[in-house]
Amino acid sequence: MRKLLILSTGAVEETLIQQISAADWEIYWAEDPGQARTLLTEHSFEVGLAILFSCEPERSVQWLIDLITARRKMQWVMALSRQCLDRKLITGVVAEHCYDYHTLPIESPRLIVTLGHAYGMVALAENSFRQQRELESQYGMIGNSPVMQTLFRSIQKAAEVDVPVLITGESGTGKEQSARAIHEYSGRAAAPFVGMNCAALPANLIQSELFGHEKGAFAGASERRIGHVESANGGTLFLDEIGDLAPELQANLLRFLEEKKFHRMGGAKPIPANVRIVAATNTHLEQTVRDGRFREDLYYRLNVLHLRTPSLRERKGDVELLARYFFNKFTVETRTTAKGFSRDALEVINRYDWPGNVRELMNRVRRAVLLSEGPYITPKDMELERRSLGRGFVTLDEARMAADREVIQATLLRTRFNIARAANELSVSRMTLYRLMEKYDIRRDNI
């Protein structure tokens, strides 16, 4: 049976309740904020009916308005006196948050039809969104463009064979998500997926992180530590930014790939490990090999299968799709009045080159949802108004730095500057996060 929440500033006629109930509605009724919040916590409602018998004084109905604006995923119908329509606060809520409204006295047959239509709109929206996700989402990634379809086919092929994979692509294009998809659809899915960013740790710590160490292996090694290779036994080890791996560790990794055995630091006994390596880089690794900064034999060991994650400017047809997806995702987490994107915002979103790729788009949409004050997100909310007009060329380093700064700022905002939590979400140490905040001049007072 369909559930209906009625919020009322006064007593509702029993006849109206009976007539609505007879139309296959299970009714829950609240006359104060405490009752309403309890019901909203205990039940799931698709449709709400707000009845305002009086708007005098306005503060007496503020609790009701707050609940309507907070529960924007519900379809609201408001019944109110004609005097209430003269109040700017009330009409603004009706225009921005209500499916329809009726003036008092309530005409029961017409109201019942409206409530049915509101419920139908919820069902249609949910069905449409589910079908859209089924058509447009594969392996946890959104995209209809030809280059994404090519990537999806490559992921499928990589999941079917148990060999090393090298994933290349610009920063923010979904290299780690592709690696996770390969793991989750492979025969190793039940075993661990362990990730490590080779650029996030100093060279002297990566050896211990990768292979572990024995107690007393070096100053400060007070106990045995299990490394990422050992933790990923039976599963997949994802090595991001592989091009930044120190030369001495390149030799150790090559030896492990050849022998399927490793030594913990300070240990003499070789330890076998059945681990699949998936590596990723946003650099031209072939050029790095030619420059002598990356071992050629390791490159060929890692590059048995090669996947390339396309940049967002190569998949223009997906930009709007992704923007709407992130909008829907973040509005669930955030109290906002925004219903979607303005026409100007969509035009600018489609025109912008997105040097930070999907990561930049995601964080700009998140910021816009947090900061938007109107019914529709504008180019200004996306901070793209000035960038989209007369924007000069940027280098890859500048684009990467801009994207990294966006990600760090958005994560700190979301975690309310909880450094430990933000560092965990970003998969870096707290010291690395502090160093990056200093590098990009990120402070609480300038975000």
CATH of the domain at 257: 3.40.50.300
CA distance 447 to 444: 6
Pairing of strands 2-8, 25-30: parallel
Same domain, 293 and 331: no
Same domain, 161 and 123: no
Q: Which class for 220: exposed (0-12), middle (13-18), buried (19 or more C-beta within 10 A)?
A: exposed
Strand partners, 275: none
Token pair listed for 183: 């793991």
Same domain, 125 and 149: no
Residues 6+ apart with CB under 8 A from 40: 5, 67, 71
Q: Which residue has the tokens 């120190």?
A: 246
3-state secondary structure of 447: coil
CA distance 131 to 148: 19
Examine the fold and report which residue of 70, 103, 134 is the final residue of a domain before the chain moves on: 134
pLDDT at 176 (0 to 100): 95
Same domain, 335 and 359: yes
Torsion sign across C-alpha atoms 208, 212, 215, 221? positive
CA distance 365 to 358: 11
Examine the fold and report which residue of 93, 112, 134 is the final residue of a domain before the chain moves on: 134
Token pair listed for 276: 């699949």
**Residues for the chain: how many in total?**
447
Question: What value, to the nearest 5°, has the Cα angle with vertex 55 and ends 50 and 56?
Answer: 150
- Reference 437, options 410, 408, 414, 417; nearest CA is 408
Same domain, 417 and 280: no
Same domain, 37 and 85: yes
Contact of 8 with 51, CB cutoff 8 Å: yes
* Full DSSP string of 19-30: HHHHTTEEEEEE
Assign residue 416 a region (left: φ > 0; alpha: ψ between -120 and 50; beta: otherwise).
left
Contact of 415 with 444, CB cutoff 8 Å: no
Q: How many domains does the chain have?
A: 3
Same domain, 297 and 322: no
Same domain, 205 and 130: no
Cβ atoms within 10 Å, residue 248: 11
| The one-letter amino acid at 143 | G
Question: What value, to the nearest 5°, has the Cα angle with vertex 32 and ends 27 and 33?
Answer: 100
Contact of 7 with 33, CB cutoff 8 Å: no
pLDDT per residue rounded down to tens, the chain (447 residues):
789 999 988 888 888 889 999 999 999 988 888 888 888 888 888 899 999 888 877 777 888 888 887 776 788 999 988 888 888 888 888 887 888 999 898 899 999 999 999 888 887 777 655 555 544 567 888 888 889 989 999 999 999 999 999 999 999 999 999 999 999 999 999 999 999 998 877 777 888 889 988 888 787 788 888 899 999 999 999 999 999 888 888 999 999 999 999 988 888 889 999 999 999 999 889 999 999 999 999 999 999 999 999 999 998 789 998 998 899 888 877 767 788 899 889 999 998 989 999 999 999 999 999 888 888 899 999 988 654 444 444 556 666 777 788 788 878 877 778 888 888 888 888 878 887 887 777 876 555
Same domain, 172 and 293: yes
Cβ atoms within 10 Å, residue 325: 21
Provide φ and ψ at 61, rounded to 5°. -110, 5
Residues 6+ apart with CB under 8 A from 313: 353, 354
Examine the fold and report which residue of 281, 308, 335 is the final residue of a domain before the chain moves on: 308
| The one-letter amino acid at 120 | G
Same domain, 250 and 342: no
CATH of the domain at 96: 3.40.50.2300
What pTM did the predictor assign?
Answer: 0.61
| The one-letter amino acid at 445 | D
- Reference 377, options 415, 418, 330, 342; nearest CA is 342
Domain span including residue 382: 313-446
Same domain, 293 and 319: no
Cβ atoms within 10 Å, residue 267: 16
3-state secondary structure of 195: strand
Pairing of strands 271-272, 261-262: antiparallel
Same domain, 177 and 264: yes
